[in-house]
Amino acid sequence: MHLGIDEPRECQYNQICTHNSSPMETPHSKKRKVKRKWQIFPGRNKFYCNGRIMMAKQTGVFYLTIVLILVTSGLFFAFDCPFLASNLTPAIPAIGGVLFLFVIGMLLRASFSDPGVLPRATPEEAADVERQIDAANGAGGPGYRPPPRTREVVINGQTVKLKYCFTCKIFRPPRASHCSLCDNCVERFDHHCPWVGNCVGKRNYRFFYLFILSLSFLTIFIFAFVITHVILRSNRTGFLSALKDSPASVLEVVVCFFSVWSIVGLSGFHTYLISSNQTTNEDIKGSWSTKRGKDNYNPYSYGNILTNCCAALCGPLPPSLIDRRGFVQPDTPQPAAQSNGTNTCPTTQLQSHMCHQDQCIQSTKFVLQAAVTTPLLHAQPILLGGGPVLQPKPSVGGPCSALGPGQPSLPSSIPGLSCGGEVLALHDSENHCHHHLHHQHFISPEETPCTAHLGHHMPLYDPASQDSLHEDSVRGLVKLSSV
């Protein structure tokens, strides 16, 4: 465990063992092209432009946002601006244009940037944290799930609970939260915005805020000037003919009318949040509300509104922690990608887990066999047969795929062994029963018919196979020590 060998490595190593030729390793490693880190990112995000752009998985509503803004603004510039520019002032389309570009810029920046995703713990880190938790909680019996893991820390006089994230295998920093849609822990998590198609967190909160602020200005701007346009036209030609001359205005007014309430409301809400240095998450939960207690206050607030605003909007922009475009180093420990917050592995990983356990059991078997056969030179045919039979076993995927669908129960394996009629073989299987009762399901159907079969044909004592058995047991011992 302390050697920190990660799972893909284990399977690769096992492949070398089960195949009797070294070239097995090189084609396998040559097949691997150098990958960028975004390609193996464990969260549910989509990446574009070779990792430069990062968005959530569901982006449908984002495209709706873009279409709404583009269409409304486009109609405004196409139908209303010519009239307004000639009749009022050309500054109107100019200001409108600047506002529009700013809105689009902020939207794209909020949507495409990393919100502040925390990378998942490396296997060694996760193990270290687990050890600390076990030491703190005390060992429970098997099958006992410990209570939710929390750490308490005092920040500026307030006690804050840090929660343990089962998916990312880290203790979340204060104000961080795990987004279930993106399956990531995000620093200073505000909320997941479907309109923006991304989480809103530490790194893109200011872009999000500037987006909704500028969008409220743009919406009010378009609304006001479309109304002005229609009024000016109806002064000349009458209301109905004004509407006929500029039909797009109706659509714009409708869109803007409904948007104004929500967008302006949202801007006002976020202005309040920024001035009090809270996140949407905290506000909704009422974390710092005085309703919870008289002494409850926000420990992150700087005291005055101006500092809070400046800190949120003009403070230093932290860099992305996930290094999307970096290259994956071949010996980099892979983060905890498989677990989904529970102890069971998803079915896609089940086979690799079975392989891992399968090989572990085999190595134990070799050790036990070696231990049994060495003092007893007139070894049982079945046990010796066990060695060479297992060597030409197909690749790691083979036994797993064979064993995957069908898993016969334990008792069926015993008749297979007993047909060999050797007492020690049964004894051996009993050892396996005791040590690996759980795993016998996977191994017995494959091995016992073979061993029973070939056991009869193998010579009683074969020095060559004895040597290979020794080698196997040494390898097995070494592998065991590596786990």
Partner 1 sequence: LWQTHSLQDLRQQAAIASKVFVQRDYTSGTICKFQTKFPSELETRIEKQQFEETVQTLNNLYAEAEKLGGKSYLEGCLACLTAYTIFLCMETHYEKVLKKIAKYIQEQNEKVYAPLGLLLTDPIERGLRVVEITIFEDRSIGSR
The residues binding partner 1 (CB under 8 A) are: 2-5, 13, 16-17, 20-22, 24-25, 101-102, 105-106, 109, 118-119, 121-122, 124-125, 128, 153-156, 160, 162, 170, 173-175, 187-188, 206-207, 210, 299-300, 307, 310-311, 313-319, 321-323, 471, 474-475, 478, 481-482
State which residue, 207 or 221, has the beta carbon closest to partner 1.
207
Nearer of residues 15 and 338 to partner 1, judged by Cβ: 15
> Among residues 16 and 305, whose Cβ is nearest to partner 1?
16
Shortest approach of partner 1 to residue 382 CB, angstroms? 25
Min dist. Cβ of residue 360 to partner 1 (A)? 15
For partner 1, the closer CB: 207 or 223: 207
**Which of 24/85 has CB closer to partner 1?**
24
Residue 193 known to be catalytic: yes
- Residue closer to partner 1 by CB (options 162, 305) is 162
Q: Compute the least distance from the CB of residue 24 to partner 1, in Å.
A: 8
Minimum gap (Å) between residue 302 Cβ and partner 1: 8
* Smallest separation (angstroms) from partner 1 to the CB of 183: 16
CB 317, min distance to partner 1, A: 5
Catalytic one of 193, 199, 355, 400: 193
* HEC string for the chain: CCCCCCHHHHHHHHHHHHCCCHHHHHHHHHHCCCCEHHHHCCCCEEEECCCCEEEECCCHHHHHHHHHHHHHHHHHHHHHHHHHHHHCCCHHHHHHHHHHHHHHHHHHHHHHCCCCEECCCCHHHHHHHHHHHHHHHCCCCCCCCCCCCEEEEEECCEEEEEEEECCCCEECCCCCEEECCCCEEECCCCEEECCCCEEECCCCHHHHHHHHHHHHHHHHHHHHHHHHHHHHHHHHHCHHHHHHHCCHHHHHHHHHHHHHHHHHHHHHHHHHHHHCCCCHHHHHHCCCCCCCCCCCCCCCCCCCHHHHHHHHHHCCCCCCCCCCCCECCCCCCCCCCCCCCCCCCCHHHHHHHHHHHHHHHHHHHHHHHHHHHCCCCCCCHHHHHHHHHHCCCCCCHHHHHHHCCCCCCHHHHHHHHHCCCCHHHHHHHHHHHHHCCCCHHHHHHHHHHHHHHHHCCCCCCCHHHHHHHHHHHHHHHHHHHHC
Active-site positions read: 193
